Structure 1
Protein backbone atom coordinates (compact mmCIF):
# COMPACT_ATOMS: atom_id res chain seq x y z
CA UNK A 1 0.00 0.00 0.00
CA UNK A 2 1.96 2.96 -1.27
CA UNK A 3 1.05 6.48 -2.20
CA UNK A 4 -1.79 7.16 -4.62
CA UNK A 5 -0.73 8.36 -8.03
CA UNK A 6 -2.68 10.36 -10.58
CA UNK A 7 -3.81 7.20 -12.38
CA UNK A 8 -5.23 5.64 -9.22
CA UNK A 9 -7.09 8.81 -8.27
CA UNK A 10 -8.60 9.13 -11.76
CA UNK A 11 -9.66 5.48 -11.66
CA UNK A 12 -11.37 5.96 -8.28
CA UNK A 13 -13.15 9.09 -9.52
CA UNK A 14 -14.35 7.23 -12.62
CA UNK A 15 -15.76 4.40 -10.48
CA UNK A 16 -17.54 6.89 -8.19
CA UNK A 17 -19.00 8.66 -11.22
CA UNK A 18 -20.26 5.36 -12.63
CA UNK A 19 -21.77 4.25 -9.32
CA UNK A 20 -23.53 7.45 -8.32
CA UNK A 21 -23.99 9.34 -11.57
CA UNK A 22 -23.31 13.00 -12.23
CA UNK A 23 -26.47 14.30 -10.57
CA UNK A 24 -25.96 12.62 -7.19
CA UNK A 25 -22.35 13.66 -6.61
CA UNK A 26 -23.12 17.34 -5.72
CA UNK A 27 -25.75 16.14 -3.24
CA UNK A 28 -23.25 13.74 -1.65
CA UNK A 29 -20.59 16.45 -1.38
CA UNK A 30 -23.11 18.89 0.12
CA UNK A 31 -24.08 16.34 2.76
CA UNK A 32 -20.43 15.59 3.49
CA UNK A 33 -19.70 19.30 3.91
CA UNK A 34 -22.61 19.74 6.30
CA UNK A 35 -21.46 16.76 8.33
CA UNK A 36 -17.92 18.10 8.63
CA UNK A 37 -19.22 21.55 9.63
CA UNK A 38 -21.49 20.06 12.30
CA UNK A 39 -18.60 17.98 13.62
CA UNK A 40 -16.35 21.05 13.88
CA UNK A 41 -19.11 23.06 15.59
CA UNK A 42 -19.76 20.25 18.04
CA UNK A 43 -16.08 19.86 18.86
CA UNK A 44 -15.77 23.61 19.44
CA UNK A 45 -18.85 23.55 21.66
CA UNK A 46 -17.50 20.70 23.77
CA UNK A 47 -14.18 22.49 24.24
CA UNK A 48 -15.91 25.70 25.29
CA UNK A 49 -18.13 23.87 27.78
CA UNK A 50 -15.12 22.14 29.33
CA UNK A 51 -13.29 25.48 29.71
CA UNK A 52 -16.34 27.11 31.35
CA UNK A 53 -16.49 24.38 34.03
CA UNK A 54 -12.90 25.05 35.14
Structure 2
Protein backbone atom coordinates (compact mmCIF):
# COMPACT_ATOMS: atom_id res chain seq x y z
CA UNK A 1 0.00 0.00 0.00
CA UNK A 2 1.31 3.43 -0.88
CA UNK A 3 1.86 6.13 1.68
CA UNK A 4 -0.78 8.85 1.69
CA UNK A 5 0.82 12.29 1.57
CA UNK A 6 -0.54 15.60 2.78
CA UNK A 7 -1.91 16.64 -0.64
CA UNK A 8 -3.77 13.34 -1.01
CA UNK A 9 -5.18 13.61 2.50
CA UNK A 10 -6.40 17.15 1.81
CA UNK A 11 -8.04 15.99 -1.43
CA UNK A 12 -9.82 13.15 0.37
CA UNK A 13 -11.09 15.54 3.06
CA UNK A 14 -12.35 18.04 0.46
CA UNK A 15 -14.20 15.31 -1.44
CA UNK A 16 -15.73 14.05 1.83
CA UNK A 17 -16.80 17.59 2.68
CA UNK A 18 -18.46 17.98 -0.71
CA UNK A 19 -20.24 14.62 -0.53
CA UNK A 20 -21.41 14.62 3.09
CA UNK A 21 -21.58 18.30 3.92
CA UNK A 22 -20.16 20.22 6.86
CA UNK A 23 -22.83 19.11 9.33
CA UNK A 24 -22.30 15.38 8.86
CA UNK A 25 -18.48 15.29 8.95
CA UNK A 26 -18.10 15.82 12.73
CA UNK A 27 -20.70 13.12 13.40
CA UNK A 28 -18.93 10.71 11.06
CA UNK A 29 -15.55 11.50 12.63
CA UNK A 30 -16.93 10.83 16.10
CA UNK A 31 -18.43 7.51 14.95
CA UNK A 32 -15.14 6.44 13.36
CA UNK A 33 -13.25 7.40 16.52
CA UNK A 34 -15.60 5.42 18.75
CA UNK A 35 -15.37 2.42 16.43
CA UNK A 36 -11.56 2.49 16.50
CA UNK A 37 -11.55 2.89 20.29
CA UNK A 38 -13.82 -0.15 20.70
CA UNK A 39 -11.69 -2.17 18.27
CA UNK A 40 -8.50 -1.34 20.17
CA UNK A 41 -10.18 -2.18 23.48
CA UNK A 42 -11.37 -5.55 22.15
CA UNK A 43 -7.99 -6.50 20.71
CA UNK A 44 -6.30 -5.49 23.97
CA UNK A 45 -8.69 -7.70 25.94
CA UNK A 46 -8.09 -10.63 23.58
CA UNK A 47 -4.31 -10.36 23.90
CA UNK A 48 -4.57 -10.07 27.69
CA UNK A 49 -6.77 -13.19 27.80
CA UNK A 50 -4.23 -15.07 25.66
CA UNK A 51 -1.38 -13.94 27.90
CA UNK A 52 -3.25 -15.16 31.00
CA UNK A 53 -3.87 -18.56 29.38
CA UNK A 54 -0.20 -18.94 28.52
CA UNK A 55 0.87 -17.96 32.04
CA UNK A 56 -1.56 -20.40 33.63
CA UNK A 57 -0.28 -23.28 31.46
CA UNK A 58 3.40 -22.50 31.97
CA UNK A 59 5.22 -24.90 34.31
CA UNK A 60 6.16 -23.50 37.70
CA UNK A 61 9.93 -23.46 38.36
CA UNK A 62 10.94 -24.53 41.82
CA UNK A 63 14.37 -23.81 43.31
TM-score, normalised to structure 1's length?
A: 0.78
Kindly tell me the number of residue pairs found equivalent between the two proteins.
53
Q: Over aligned residue pairs, what C-alpha RMSD do you find? A: 2.0
The list of structure 1 runs, each at least 4 consecutive aligned residues, that deviate by more than 6 angstroms after superposition, is none
Gaps of 5+ in 2: 55-63
In our comparison, the structure showing a higher alpha carbon Rg is 2
Which structure has the highest helix share of the two? Answer: 1
**What 5-or-longer segments of structure 1 have no aligned partner?**
none
